[in-house]
Structures are given as structure tokens and as C-alpha cells.
Structure 1
């Protein structure tokens, strides 16, 4: 049981199937989420789409070793972060990290039951998406809100939120170090000509056009990394993981690689900039699909490692949480940031309004 004076740090992410047989349930949960993918007749269409896509996605998880490592790395990051927090902020110790995935185990329901059993009274919702989007962090917070308002986490849990941190110096340093290690694989004479392709999960233009801040925040992360690297290399921000026929944010990573080859730029580092650990978008899309296409076009390509067990990154997580807890305890900040309180100008989701108000009151 977590003592009353301890702090729960709830790490929010989309998750991924840890084993191949979990793929169908993961996809069904994903396509059932109206915050992420609004569909007509969602309760009927979501299971149908999931069934159709399951064999293809199962094969992809088999190709990367039989499942997603995101739970392994999130737990590792959480445990090491909590241990550091006990040292950095002893006044709020002990700290315990919980994992709440949106579409795979452990789902928010399971995490809520565990926290209630532990007697948690003070919790921080800590998004593991560095850059905010209504379809990622927003959806996870909506999930917490729905359970929180019904008492699933227990009675009188006091909440606060770390909602975005895409320019945090520790995060930027960890990404930059991984880029430098990837650049070191190229001949020194031509290293400055290597193109850095920052790749982030794309968004439908319908989401972008309603005022979602994700594209701006990913761009800010890229700009901060390039400042840290002293603009040593040419770079572009590109987008991956488009699904379906509707318009998505571009250009797509695969098309960018083809275009660079056509322009004679044959040395590339792929940089995952919106992911905090390896999962299918890095291990399959970047490492197997895009890298293979790049080599077929004569490009020498290396990928900057994901953050995974980076001690620099884990220290950044601990620093973020420690600063948040100290400033909240001192009354210097409230439960939520000013930015979290602003809905997208084109938002029509009533749950978003209710969720923001609920967290702004500390989950009351």
C-alpha cells in the first residue's frame, strides 16, 4: 500500500500489444476511441475494422519480435524515475509509478483498481507524449476523467497534470545525444551533409484544422534539438503512420526519403521525435519499411535510437515530476497549466470541456 503522504505518478500512453494474440483487442480499443478516430456508427465499425486489420498487424508484431516493448520500457522508466524522485523530492516520498495505457494492458481500469487498492490520495497524471494533441494526451486525460468522476480510483484523490514537455532540456539532450551517436556511423568527411529526418506520428488534417497544437509543439521540439546540435546538419520534419484515404499532415516519411534520393541526398538519419520508447512505429515502420525503401534508393540510412533506457531521459522525467511536485506544494502552480485549459477553437467534444474543468479543480 502507498502511504498517505506518498505520490502516485501515472504514466499515460497509448500502449501496444505485449504479445501477438493481444493485437485484436488493442486495435478494437484503438478504433473504438472517438477522441482519436471519430467514426460514424463507431460501435459497429470499430470491431469490423479491427478484425480486418488484425492479420496484417499481427504479422508486423511478429516481425519485430512477437509484440511491442512499450510496456517493458514504460515500466522501467517509471521505476527508475520514482527511485530518483525519492532522492530529488524526499518531502513527497515515497513515489510510485503506475502505467495507464489507452488501448492495451494495463488499461486505465486496471490501473485505477491498483491505485484504489494502494490507497492513493495524491496523483500526478504524467503524459508520456512529449507534445500535446487532443487525440493522444487529450484522449488519455478523457479516459482518466471518466473513471475518476465515478470514483474508480478511490474517494477524494487529488490530481494534477503534467500535460506537455516537448522542449524540456533533458528530453532535448537525450534526443540530441542519440542523433550524435547515429551521425558517428557516417564517414567524418561527409558527416555534415547527412540529412536529419525527424519523423513524428501524423494527424488527420481534420484534427490539425480544428486547432490542435501538436504540429506546432513537434516543430518546437525539432527546433530545440537543432539549436542544441548548433544546426550542424540540414534537416526536415516529416510525418508517418497515415491510415485511410483522408488527408493527413505531410509530407510522409517514405515519400520524403524517395524525394531525397531523387535530389541526390544519399545519407540520412531517421529521428523519432514524438516517441519515448520503441514500438511498432519505430521498430517496424522506421527500421524495416522506411529503411528498406531508403536502401533500395541508394541511401545510407541509420536511425537515432529511441529513448528507452536512456539515463539522461529518465533523469529528465524525474526532474519534470520533481519540479511539478515542488511547485504545486508551494502553491506556485495549480493542478493544470494555462495551456491545458484552452480547448481547440474548433472543438465540439463536450467531454474535453468537462475533463479540463475537472482536472483544473484537482479532480474534484
Structure 2
């Protein structure tokens, strides 16, 4: 009798595939809350500056294809998005239709927060109720292959500078409301632990961690903000900066616009050299990490 196949669901945020999809995508992100025409126009303009679309679906599909090749026929790898097509609930329907009863859920965000990974987990559990047995991986930012992949990008990108030892290396991740810290959320500590592990691998004597892409709300968000850190360091005389968006795995608007457009423009105003590490996307080390995580999680549940 053939062993039962295990499903693997790679979950990402989602993003519009065209400028026409920006407004309905934003409605989904905001849960139907009203949006001003000015807000929609601003976000459309951001996407217009990065090619008129988000590449996140194609990149997630490439990651999934790599994980499928690594895992082999015992597993069936799917993708599901939190805020756009194909939704997590749609992926669950496909997995059920294919006869799966068990699924390993991996969020393509290595560091846990109730507001990020926790939200994906909730959507998967709700969609799976009574039909799939889900095992959700809550964090994996300490996986050696992930850390090695980021470290390799840092080492390669430092070679673009004439004096690598003088470069200010700034690890970044998406900011979240400060209230998560009071609730005991591990997100900031996990991020700094990953950054520290990468810095140790590269041999960085001096590095910093900062947040980016905070929401435009009245409540305070986690800091320091990366642009403010760059500005302060430039005033102190530092002339070279490397941004390492360790909280993001692939190219999407927070990398392609927030870093490549906004922070690069800031660097130009400050008169400093500015580089960013290339996103991991479907890097073989990242794919290997995801495959190992899926396999070990399934094995721990006794599914193999």
C-alpha cells in the first residue's frame, strides 16, 4: 500500500498582478475599511514605479516548484496568499480535492508575530477545519541554510564597496505596532537573533537593526526606522550603507519601492553610497531550508 502523500502549503502575503488590481487588493488588506482616492492613487503610483505589478506570486510559485523537486513525490506543494489570489482558502480546496488529509503550513516570513504569522495560521486553521490536519511552522529564522543564504548575499554585496570595512550594514524588517512587545510577542527578538547570526557568519564587527514600511496609523510602530538611522549615521560622517532586508524573502513592494526607491532617494540626498542585498527569491539554499522544514515537521507528526 502506497504511503499517504503529505501536502505542503507555502503562504505569502499576496500582491496585485496589475495596476487595475491595486484597489481591490487594498480593500482586501484593509478588510473593507474605507480608503480615500488619494491613498489608492499613492499606492498605485508606487506599483507603477516598480513595473506596474507585484512579482510575489511568480516568485512564490518558483519557490514552491523548487521545494517540490527537493521533496519528491511523497509531498504535494501548494501556495496560498493571505490577501490576494490564490487565497489560502482556495489552496485548501485544491488540497482537499486532491485527497490530502494532512498539511504542513509554512509562512514565507521566517520570524513569528501574532500579527503576521499568527494571522496566516488563523486563516489556514479556519479553512481546514474538519477537513485537513494542519501542522503550522511558527518560525524558522534560525535555520542554518536560511542564515547561510543571507550571509552569502551580504558578503557578495559588500564587494561593491571600495572599503567594505567602512560600510554601515543595516538589517531591516517590516515594522509592526509597538503594542505587540507589551503582549510578549517574540518578533523583534527573533529578528535581531537572525541578524546577529548572519553578522557572525560574515564577520561583521559593526552592524545595526532597524524597521521599515510602518503603517500610516496614529499608534506608535516599532523602531528605529531605517531612514532615520541612515540620516543620523550620515550626519556622523558615514558615507556607505548596505541594506539587508532580512525580514523579506522575495522581491515585492516593500523591497522594490520602500528600499530601492525611497531609501535610495534618501541616500542620494545624503550624498552616500547605497546598496541592497539581492532578495533570496528561489535561491537554492532557501529552497533547501523550506524543504527540510517541511520534511522534519511532517516526520515530527508521524506522517512519514
Give the TM-score normalised by the residue count of structure 2. Answer: 0.94
| 1:131 correspondence with 2:87 | no
1:323 deviates by: 2.0
Query: What is the distance in 2 between the residues matched to 1:284 and 1:233?
Result: 29
Q: Which residue of 1 aligns with 2:75?
A: 95
Q: Which residue of 1 aligns with 2:206?
A: 234
What's the C-alpha RMSD, in Å, of the aligned pairs? 1.7
Aligned length: 302
Q: Which moved further from structure 2: 139-148 or 166-175?
A: 139-148
Structure 2 unaligned regions, length at least 5: none
Query: What is the distance in 1 between the residues matched to 2:233 and 2:65?
Result: 41
Q: Which runs of 4+ in 1 moved over 6 A?
A: none
Query: What is the distance in 2 between the residues matched to 1:24 and 1:96?
Result: 33
| 1:64 correspondence with 2:50 | yes
The superposition leaves residues 182-211 of structure 1 with CA deviations (integer Å, 9 ceiling, x where unpaired) of: 101011xx2111111101100111222222
Query: What is the distance in 2 between the residues matched to 1:68 and 1:191?
Result: 32
SS at match of 1:276: coil
Q: Which residue of 2 aligns with 1:294?
A: 267
1:163 deviates by: 1.4
Query: What is the distance in 2 between the residues matched to 1:318 and 1:167?
Result: 15
- CA pair 240-271 structure 1, distance change in 2 beyond 3 A: same
Q: Which residue of 2 aligns with 1:196?
A: 169
Q: Which residue of 1 aligns with 2:71?
A: 85
Written as runs of structure 1 = structure 2, the 5 A alignment for 1:117-156 is 117-149=97-129, 151=130, 155=131
Match of 1:115 among 72, 78, 95: 95
Match of 1:160 among 113, 117, 135: 135
Query: What is the distance in 2 between the residues matched to 1:178 and 1:200?
Result: 16
SS at match of 2:35: helix
Match of 2:276 among 303, 306, 311: 303
SS at match of 2:113: coil
SS at match of 1:131: coil
Structure 1 unaligned regions, length at least 5: 33-42, 87-92, 332-364
SS at match of 2:114: coil
Query: What is the distance in 2 between the residues matched to 1:292 and 1:136?
Result: 28
Query: What is the distance in 1 between the residues matched to 2:251 and 2:201?
Result: 23
1:126 deviates by: 1.1
Query: What is the distance in 2 between the residues matched to 1:53 and 1:109?
Result: 28
Q: Which residue of 1 aligns with 2:39?
A: 53
The superposition leaves residues 62-91 of structure 1 with CA deviations (integer Å, 9 ceiling, x where unpaired) of: 1101111111111101111111012xxxxx
